Amino acid sequence: MNLKVLVLCSILIASSLSDDGSKAFPDNFMFGVASSSHQIEGAWNEDGKGENIWDYLTHTKPELVEGGATADITCDSYHKYKEDVALLKDLGVDHYRFSLSWSRILTNGSIGSVNEAGLNYYKNLIKELKDNGIEPFVTLYHWDLPEILQKQGGWIDMFIIDTFLDYARLCFETFGDDVKYWLTFSEPKQTCLSGYGYGTMAPSVSKTGELDYKCTHNLLKAHAKVWHLYDEEFRSTQNGKISIALDSNWYEPEDDTSQNTVSAETKRQFSFGWYANPLFIGDYPEVMKTRIGYRSMHEGRRVSRLPVFTDEEIEYIKGTCDFLGLNTYTSSIIKYEKEQEIRIPWYDWDVGVKEHFASEWPSSASSWLKVTPWGIKKLLNWIKDTYNSPDIFITANGVSDDGSSLNDEIRINYYRDYLSNISSAMEDGVNVIGYTAWSLMDSFEWTSGYSEKFGFYSVDFESENRTRTAKSSVEYFKKVVLTHCLVDSCEED
């Protein structure tokens, strides 16, 4: 296909999206970009910041991280936040989603160790954002647990619930007058499944089928406690909203046979329902209770590996989201698998399905991320139907490049096609209230080091200055934010 035909096709596709052909997103729809503390701040031991589990992992087990990379300096946003805000201003975004570093605010994680320098850093960042008309959208926890709390058991020990509550209270007291959007956790499934199950992420504890469930149990209780705290003591004066950001692929059945349809739904329940069911409906999904209970019994256990909530806990956790935060990047194909022999516990055997990517799906620089824009429309509709039409704030969505060119067509196409499908889901009646692109700039990508680049801005990690340079997608996203419609259709009107 030559270029002209391609351009024409995308104009035709784009202009069929909205009824009047001009506006794809309502005026009050919020556009923003995201980052997280550990991935961009650096200054890992400056001004009283304590060590977190990712500092510890990169310093003690460099073989687990591509290129032995650390986030000791990364984008150096601790010193360059004013420059970051200038980039945000230039993008024209309504909000900036960033996270607070727990061990920068509380050196040893507990409320007795308040670090004024850490509080000041975030006060200054929030002031700079507000002075520039950008809404701060704050995540309390994006994976960087203070190492000292991990030494005491971390998310698998119940003490963490009240320790997190103390930290949250301090954050509401200190920043709450200026923050209208809060998230307790970003992608709790990654914290629990990768951190304490597979052990592929910090704190790299591998006890799948047990500690991943236990971690989730504590984390859901911690979330609910923080929501109730905000609701009872801060909401009336601070008037904000608070929720959690859940992550999921879209899981597409391989075909419409009933076996594969059921398997895909099982996978959705184990992936998204694990968190969304307790939060929006009450208790873990039936299929999780049944399957984990069955396999536990056949392992000779008297109780299920899936912890049990009391009736009071079910009621306490249910309804603790003022909106649904959604992080999603890709899809996968699910098919039926016959019941695995019962030996040792493993989350994937509890789910009991086969998962793969279709070979024709376009790749990115991340092996886990294929470009499947149609998947987000299906996921949004499934959430609407399954959880009674909640308001959905998309809190992360984006694609990686390999850094070989600033002309990041892959990103422009990704955002255009995903936003088209979001707009189309909204026409189906899905209540999407905002969109957050991941990410403002290239940053430390956890165990992938600096090899996968998700930014609108590239960062020169070799230069002392950590020079930021706009990629081509900046101009594209600016237009979307400004016009609230997909560029092709606006230009043709």
Residue ranges binding ligand GBE (CB under 6 A): 36, 39, 186-187, 190, 194, 247, 329, 367-368, 396, 438, 445, 454
Specify the residue, 138 or 486, whose C-beta has the smaller distance to ligand GBE.
138
Shortest reach from residue 447's CB to ligand GBE, in Å:
7
> Nearer to ligand GBE by C-beta: 244 or 396?
396
* Least distance between ligand GBE and beta carbon 249 (Å): 9
Please give the Cα distance from 173 to 185 (Å, whole number): 18
First to last CA, the chain: 25
Pairwise CA distance, residues 368 & 363, whole Å: 9
Residue (247 or 313) nearer to ligand GBE, CB: 247
Q: How far apart are CB 206 and ligand GBE at their closest, in Å?
A: 14
**Which residue of the chain is nearest ligand GBE when measured via CB?**
368
Side chain identity, residue 106: L
**From the CB of 445, what's the least distance to ligand GBE, in Å?**
5
Query: Which residue, 103 or 364, has its beta carbon nearer to ligand GBE?
Result: 364
Task: Output the CA torsion sign for 33, 34, 39, 42.
Answer: positive
Task: Quote the least distance from Cβ 10 to ligand GBE, whole Å.
Answer: 26
Q: Tell me the C-alpha distance between 54 and 72, whole Å.
A: 10
Least distance in Å: CB of 87 to ligand GBE? 17
Contacting residues for 312 by C-beta, under 8 A, at least 6 apart: none
- What gap in Å lies between CA 388 and CA 383, rounded to an integer? 8
Closer residue to ligand GBE, CB minimum distance, 36 or 331: 36
Beta strands in 93-249 (DSSP E): 95-99, 135-141, 181-186, 241-247
Residue 173 CA to residue 168 CA, distance in Å, equals: 9
Closer to ligand GBE by Cβ: residue 280 or 438: 438
Q: Which is nearer to ligand GBE, 159 or 368 (CB)?
A: 368
In the bound state with ligand GBE, the residue whose beta carbon lies nearer, of 295 and 466, is: 466
**Min dist. Cβ of residue 274 to ligand GBE (A):** 14
Q: Count H helices, E strands: the chain?
A: 20, 13
Count the residues in the chain. 493
Q: C-beta of 97: minimal distance to ligand GBE in Å? A: 11
- Say which amino acid occupies 34: A
Distance from C-alpha of 422 to C-alpha of 426, rounded to nearest angstrom: 6
Distances (CA, A) of 263 to 158, 250, 270, 350: 33, 13, 11, 12
Cβ neighbour number for residue 27 with a 10 Å cutoff? 6
Alpha-carbon distance of 105 to 118, in angstroms, equals 5
